[in-house]
Amino acid sequence: MSKDVGDFGRPPLAAENKDLVEQRLKEVAAGTGLQETLTIEWRMKPQVVQVIDMPVESLYYNPGTHRIRAQRSFDPAQDRRLDDDPWSDESQSYLQHLLQAEPADPSKRDKDFEELKQSLKEFRQNEPGLITREGILVNGNTRAAALRELGVAHIRVGVLPDSCTWGDINTVELALQLRPDTRRDYSYINQLLAIDEQVEAGRPLREVARDFRIRETTAELDRKVLSVLRDLSDRSTTESAQLRLLDFEDAQEKLREVCKAYAKEAKADPKQAELLKENRLAAIVMEFSKTDVRLIEADFRTRYLEHRLPDELKVAPTATPERVIPGINRAVRAEAPQVVAARAFTDSVLRAKAVIRAGDKVPVAQAEKAASVFEVAHQAVEDALEPAGKDARVRKRKQAAPDRLYDACQDIEQCITDMVLARGSRSLDEEALEEAVLKLKSSLSKLALATAQSIEVPGDGVAWLLDAVRQEES
């Protein structure tokens, strides 16, 4: 295998595996039976590779696989060992553990892995995996882990050309994993990392989005989500703990909605957008539901939360000085005091959660203090959500009637267009139109009655409606 950027080196049994692969390829080529092949995308072109049987115990898990990229940080010490020596027994055992684990919580066994294992037990291997000639698994890492647990001696695998590089391995793995028939999709965070990696490598976002079978706008949104997650991870750092990207695995839709809402609000008022983002991110960190998070607007803290927070979770709004960019002496506008306070609250919650997630890796006193901070903050936000929800329901009821009238106006405008087209083709159903107009007349009369009973001081629009109905009745 050729050298490349990000090269993990050659595994210890590389030479032995290469000899065995070459021997089996020759045996298959010399045979008279039907030969199994696998078609892959190789350097922008379809390539047919030969499939052989290999001892599953002699193969190596790919330390660069995108399937568990985020989960590697589950155990920082093991993660560092993977970088230093990816082929050691300890590193390979850690990879096997992650391949069997639940993406959102690698301390638990993944039910999807159990289903894959049961399928292999009942129906055996349907699709071949893929390896390098040195015995590194490019595709089929999870299947190899399941086959090892089942005690199956051999795995069917296609073999990449001898000239493959680590860049080829990454590209081929992504192409195969993104096929519609793949058994086990990437987790959300791993997909974010894979998209970002491809774009950073110079590929157009449009092409990357197409490979992942998503819209370009969705891929762009997901890159913004990843940026937010990295920022949250950095802000959660304490002396002994830090949240990992995988800790946000189950917050996919909530994070996307926050980024959409932030982008929309930022066009009108950047300060309000920052407040909205920080308020909602704090709620996401505390694992409130998507419905609850939607209730949180830019004024959530000042209207509902501020007076419910204990003093230790409040930051007095103070003006921050402007920053000057070195070299060009240009001043950068300082953050508004309200944004500083909102960010500080989010940071407090992030750091508390990081310590809680660290478990027995932090002192008991520190863990208890973090749990207390998190509980108090959670209760304050929960209490604040109750009046926020009531106000939201009131606003929705107030806006419901006008919204329906606007929708009806749009339907009437479309009706006018349809009538013009029908007149040109002489296809208008005049009897049906007469019935519909009479129905409209009846509905307008009812609307006039309802508005007369509901509105004390009618404006121009309501006054016109009431006059029109009175003239019709007289």
DSSP secondary-structure letter at 185?
P
**In this predicted model, what pLDDT tens digit does every residue of 73-115 receive, in sequence order?**
999 999 999 999 999 999 999 999 999 999 999 999 999 999 9
pLDDT above 90 coverage of the chain, percent: 72
Amino acid at 127: E
Task: Report residue 129: phi and psi, to 5°.
Answer: -85, -160
Contact assessment for residue 259 and residue 221, using Cβ atoms and an 8 Å cutoff: yes
**In this predicted model, what pLDDT tens digit does every residue of 255-265 receive, in sequence order?**
999 999 999 99
Contact assessment for residue 381 and residue 282, using Cβ atoms and an 8 Å cutoff: yes
Average pLDDT for 426-445: 90
Amino acid at 426: R
Residue 3 has pLDDT above 50, yes or no: no
Average pLDDT for 31-56: 91
pTM over 0.75: no
Q: Cα–Cα distance between 413 and 406 in angstroms, integer?
A: 11
Task: Report residue 324: phi and psi, to 5°.
Answer: -110, 130
DSSP secondary-structure letter at 186?
P
First to last CA, the chain: 93
Which residues, 6+ apart, have CB-to-CB distance to 458 below 8 Å? 451, 452, 466
Residue 420 has pLDDT above 70, yes or no: yes
Q: Cα–Cα distance between 305 and 126 in angstroms, integer?
A: 56
Which residues, 6+ apart, have CB-to-CB distance to 94 below 8 Å? 75, 78, 81, 82
Q: Across all residues in the chain, what is the average pLDDT?
A: 90
Name the residue with tokens 């006008």.
Answer: 402
